[in-house]
Amino acid sequence: MDRTPHAYTPHDVARRETSEQLRARIPGWGADLDRADRPQFPELSLREDLTGARWEFPERQPGGESRERSIEHAFVTPVFGTAQPRRGLSGAIRKHAYAKYSEARAAHWLMLIAADRVEATGAHLMSIVRLHPDNPITETGITSELTRSGLSSRFGRKRSDTNHQWMDPVLVAGPFVAAAVVGAKALARARRTD
Amino acid sequence: MRAMVYRGPYKVRVENKEIPRIEHPNDAVVRVTMGAICGSDLHLYHGMMPDTRIGHTFGHEFIGVVHEVGSSVQNLAVGDRVMVPFNIFCGSCWYCARGLYSNCHNVNANATAVGAIYGYSHTCGGYDGGQSEFVRVPFADVGPTIIPDWMSDEDAVMLTDACPTGYFGAQLGDIAEGDSVVVFGAGPVGLFAAKSAWLMGAGRVVVIDHLEYRLEKAREFAHAETFNFTDYPDIVVEMKKQTDHLGFDVAIDAVGAEADGNLLMHVTSAKLKLQGGSPIALNWAIDSVRKGATVSVVGAYGPIFSAVKFGDALNKGLTIRGNQCPVKRQWPRLFEHVRNGHLKPSELVTHRFPLEHIAEGYHVFSAKLDGIIKPLVIPSAA
């Protein structure tokens, strides 16, 4: 090594370009240079006049009585989302996760993840019963592999994520393949019984 | 109305849904004219976000036209062309009163650690999002803003999340004149963060990714030096060499949970959901900066714990700053930057998918096909 790197000496690393050079080369360089004039910066200062709110506490949205809430909240917030209310087994798991465990507990989140999988499985089954079955071709957008350069986007491009992408089709298509196999076996067994 | 709905990990479709109704006097219903898929939507799409319910409509980046207003709404009228920040916020709680709109305490009953976000699971409040023809917009007097006449739709939609979040990432870095800045991730947020670092006076801006076409965009759009981490046995060592073994003054993690990581990280986060995302980009950020540096985190992570190298952060005396971006707080300055030409947010738009083809949009974006950087979603009624 010809010289001692700056990290081991008292000296700053020399800048490659001066501010003047950067200002000439980069459009807008330094427009927000003044750190005291970055008014968007989230300092904890009270801003009484800027939000558009005309209330100190918002009027309450009706219907919050039975809604789940984090037990770290004092109450159901005055405004809340009403999309996809809890229902069924997944709803029961979610209700328990919210009622029993705070956000600090891993059990809270892992139960919610489990409820998501329970609901997804039930939804796939119900979609068949309701004659609007999930379509693994259209719902995964997999046909874009053919129309959007699936192969050339992936290979020979030093992408790191291709190391693990082989797992995705297995996980996505696996349940459909398993269901088809189980269905075929059941059908074959029924025919033998006849 | 037609709306994207979640059907389980890696599966979405478009269904008929009821048009949202006014549920609170300060609600509005907005007819969506343009939306977008965000990199963080992929966390939902991959099933990584707890309490993502079947039937949920994603989409927190959208603009539209006011279709209906509640009885107490004064600042908007039917027919107004509006842009809606991805945060839902009340404007009056302890946090909003201090400008921390993304941390609003009055809108997300499901969690206290995160505010409410359109179409981002029940963990973020249980509000359907804007990848649909209509969307309910709570606190219409507080969040949305009428789009200036001079602003294009595509610039406006990019200002509802991606651009302000990147700009906010640079702000959280507290960049001083001449600072060296390394940005992990060359997606839209990382590219905007790199560009914004120059606005704040950075002396050197480096962007790291593994997708060459995005690194090319980083060089062209953000005037950044670029490194493909797959070209190096250890990107952290390379970053030390690049800074005379000192490390960067500021690092910005614009990757978040979607990082691939090694097999163990990938399986425990993306597949088993036992981590709130693979933290490899954050760990690289922690290890690539000098001691006493600032690490800004705007890449989104889930609420479950992640294997972050906190010991290194402690021993190096780092300042770690992160938050969801309080979008509306960024707008006045960003509007100036767009108007005077310092920023052109729509330059990052690469794809426009009709709402009816949104499953294709998700797959192309998730698998990084076709040179995709930023996909927009266009409802059929737009």
Query: Tokens 């974006």 identify what position?
Result: B365
Are residues B11 and B89 located together in one domain of the fold? Answer: yes
Name residues 51-80 of chain A within 8 A of B (Cβ): 51-59, 61-64, 67-70, 72-73, 76-80
Assess whether B171 and B250 both reside in one domain: yes
Same-domain status, B52 and B80: yes
CB spacing of A158 vs B228 below 8 angstroms: yes
| Lowest pLDDT segment from A42-56, A176-190, B242-256 | A42-56
Q: Is the pLDDT at B339 greater than 60, yes or no?
A: yes
CA B61: distance to chain centroid? 9
β-partners of residue B225 are: B206
- Say whether both B270 and B248 belong to one domain: yes
The label of the residue with tokens 């789940």 reads: A68
Boundary-marking domain end, from B285, B306, B322:
B322
Domain with B305, as residue range(s), is: 162-322
Strand partners, B205: B181
Flag whether pLDDT at B302 surpasses 60.
Answer: yes
Average pLDDT over residues B29-39: 98
How many independent structural domains does chain B possess? Answer: 2
C-beta atoms of A150 and B369 within 8 A: yes
pLDDT tens profile A178-191: 878 888 888 899 88
Judgement on whether residues B184 and B267 belong to the same structural domain of the protein = yes
The last residue of a domain, from among B322, B350, B367: B322
Contact A7 B8 (CB under 8 A): no
Show the tokens assigned to B95: 């946090």
∠ CA B330-B332-B335, rounded to 5°: 100
- Cβ distance of A159 and B230 shorter than 8 Å: yes
Both structure tokens of B349:
């738009």
Q: Does A88 touch chain B (CB under 8 A)?
A: no
Q: Where are the alpha helices (DSSP H) in chain B?
A: 41-45, 153-158, 162-172, 188-199, 212-222, 235-242, 263-266, 280-288, 310-315, 327-339, 358-367
Task: Tell me the C-alpha distance between B19 and B175, whole Å.
Answer: 45
> Is A162 touching B (CB cutoff 8 A)?
no
Number of residues assigned to chain B: 382
Question: For the segment A12-40, what is each residue's pLDDT rounded down to a tens digit?
Answer: 888 899 999 999 999 999 999 998 887 55
* Cα A78 to Cα A60: distance, rounded to the nearest angstrom: 4
Asked if B151 and B80 touch (Cβ cutoff 8 Å), the reply is no
Mean pLDDT (whole number) for A94-111: 97
Task: Say whether both B196 and B56 belong to one domain.
Answer: no
Residue ranges per structural domain of chain A: 86-145
Query: Alpha-carbon distance A86 to A68, whole Å?
Result: 8
Query: Which range has highest mean pLDDT (A113-127, A158-172, B273-287)?
Result: A113-127
Lowest mean pLDDT among A53-62, A152-161, B174-183, B196-205: A152-161
CA distance B371 to A163: 19
Q: Identify whether residues B196 and B274 lie together within a single domain.
A: yes
> Hey, is the C-beta of A129 within 8 angstroms of any chain B C-beta?
no
State whether A68 and B138 contact (CB < 8 Å): no
User: Residues near B328 by Cβ (< 8 Å), separated by ≥ 6?
Assistant: B85, B87, B89, B101, B143, B145
A72: closest chain B residue by CA? B112
ipTM at complex level: 0.93
Identify the CATH number of the domain in which residue B258 sits: 3.40.50.720
**B290: phi > 0 → left, psi -120 to 50 → alpha, else beta; which?**
beta
CA–CA distance, B118 with B30 (Å, rounded to integer):
13
Give A174's contacts (C-beta < 8 A, 6+ positions apart). Answer: none
Shared domain for B310 and B177, answered yes or no, is yes
DSSP symbol at A50? S
Domain containing B145 — which CATH number?
3.90.180.10
A17-31, A155-169, B333-347: range with lowest mean pLDDT: A155-169
User: How many angstroms away from the CA of A12 is the closest CA of chain B?
Assistant: 9
Which chain A residues are Cβ-neighbours of B229 within 8 angstroms?
160
What single-letter DSSP state applies at residue B267?
Answer: I
Q: Are residues B19 and B115 in the same domain?
A: yes
Contact A79 B90 (CB under 8 A): yes
* Beta bridge partner(s), residue B251: B182, B295
B332 and B307 in one domain?
Answer: no
The count of C-alpha atoms lying within 13 angstroms of the C-alpha of B25, restricted to the half-sphere facing its C-beta, is: 9
Mean pLDDT of B120-135: 98
CA distance A114 to chain B (A): 9
Verify that B318 and B291 share a domain, yes or no: yes
B212 in the same domain as B303: yes
Sign, Cα dihedral of B274, A113, A133, A143: negative
